[in-house]
């Protein structure tokens, strides 16, 4: 696993605005606190989200971009890339792999954080088809695509040299603690995670319960992974690619 000093740049790839804030925002705050330059890559604008059917979908897409931009600032992130794929229509295909490979070669991160590529029927909300397709494409973009100079010749033509990402963190692992699980103590940044989530105003019918829900999840994770009472944790499956 990478040592903290080995990570200067990190790239977070998710399907929708707010996915990173549910899955990894407190960890992102830890990273930026350590001086890591973090970039968000949003595959969709979340135009199929929300509850208000009177809002035109192009307007919803713009609102969600603005919400994610505000949420990113809560955890120290200023750089966001929106790819504009259709919400609810994300496919694991070469078009998405190439788009993500382009972003990886532009950002040149040591670490990529993304969603699980596995359909889990026990956690159907986390297994949204867009999440699964994004996780699959992000992993394929890390290995083998972005590091292969012969993949997507147009990227080289655009001056984007091959780049090897040595490590991927997959959000919300379900496995028991072990060598492939990274447990991030985020106790000091739970409040920032909650503030980031509350930026997504179009997505919360009742925002008053967000803080309690998040703290309950994260303290339960801390207990599961053996941290002291009062701790909060975000956990990741680690995939080494070097």
* pLDDT tens, the chain, 242 aa long: 898 899 999 999 999 999 999 999 999 999 999 999 999 999 999 999 998 899 999 999 999 999 999 999 999 999 999 999 999 999 999 999 999 999 999 999 999 999 999 988 888 888 899 999 999 999 999 999 999 999 999 999 999 999 999 999 999 776 555 679 999 999 999 999 999 999 999 999 899 999 999 999 999 999 999 999 999 999 999 999 98
Q: What is the spatial distance between Cα 1 and Cα 127, in angstroms, rounded to a whole number?
A: 26
DSSP-based three-state secondary structure for 238: strand
| Nearest Cα to Cα of residue 111 among 138, 145, 149 | 138
Number of other residues whose CB lies within 10 A of the CB of residue 159: 8
Q: Is the dihedral of CA 13, 17, 19, 25 positive or negative?
A: positive
Q: DSSP labels for 96-127? A: HHHHHHHHHHHH--SEEEE---S--TTSTTTT
Residue 4's pLDDT is 84
pLDDT of residue 242: 87
Tell me the residue ranges of DSSP E strands in the chain. 9-14, 37-44, 79-85, 111-114, 167-171, 181-185, 233-240
Ramachandran bin of 113, using left for φ above 0, alpha for ψ from -120 to 50, beta for the remaining angles? beta
- The domain locations on the chain are 4-240
Give the span between the Cα atoms of 25 and 69, in whole angstroms: 13
Of 3.40.50.1580, 3.30.230.10, 3.40.50.10320, 3.20.20.70, the CATH number of 4-240 is 3.40.50.10320
Six token digits for residue 67: 């919400």
Q: What's the confidence (pLDDT) of residue 172?
A: 79
pTM of the predicted structure, to 2 decimals: 0.96
State the Cα–Cα distance between residues 169 and 10, nearest whole angstrom.
10
Contact 236, 171 (CB under 8 A): yes
């Amino acid at each position: 696993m990478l040592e903290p000093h080995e990570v200067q740049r990190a790239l977070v790839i998710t399907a929708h605005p707010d996915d990173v804030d549910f899955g990894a925002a407190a960890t992102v705050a830890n990273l930026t606190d350590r001086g890591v330059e973090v970039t968000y890559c949003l595959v969709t604008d979340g135009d199929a989200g929300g509850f208000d059917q009177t809002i035109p979908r192009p307007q919803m897409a713009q609102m969600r971009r603005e919400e994610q931009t505000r949420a990113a600032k809560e955890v120290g992130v200023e750089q966001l890339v929106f790819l504009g794929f259709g919400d609810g229509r994300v496919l694991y295909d070469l078009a998405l792999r190439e788009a993500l490979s382009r972003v990886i070669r532009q950002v040149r991160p040591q670490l990529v954080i993304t969603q699980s590529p596995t359909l889990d029927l026990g956690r159907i909300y986390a297994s949204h088809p867009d999440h699964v397709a994004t996780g699959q494409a992000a992993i394929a973009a890390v290995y083998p695509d972005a590091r292969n100079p012969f993949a997507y010749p147009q990227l080289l033509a655009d001056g984007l040299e091959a780049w090897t990402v040595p490590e991927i963190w997959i959000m919300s692992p379900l496995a028991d603690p072990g060598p492939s699980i990274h447990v991030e103590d985020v106790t000091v940044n739970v409040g920032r995670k909650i503030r980031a989530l509350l930026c997504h105003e179009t997505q919360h019918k009742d925002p008053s319960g967000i803080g309690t829900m998040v703290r309950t999840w994260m303290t339960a994770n801390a207990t599961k992974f053996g941290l002291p009472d009062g701790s909060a944790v975000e956990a990741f499956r680690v995939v080494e690619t070097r």
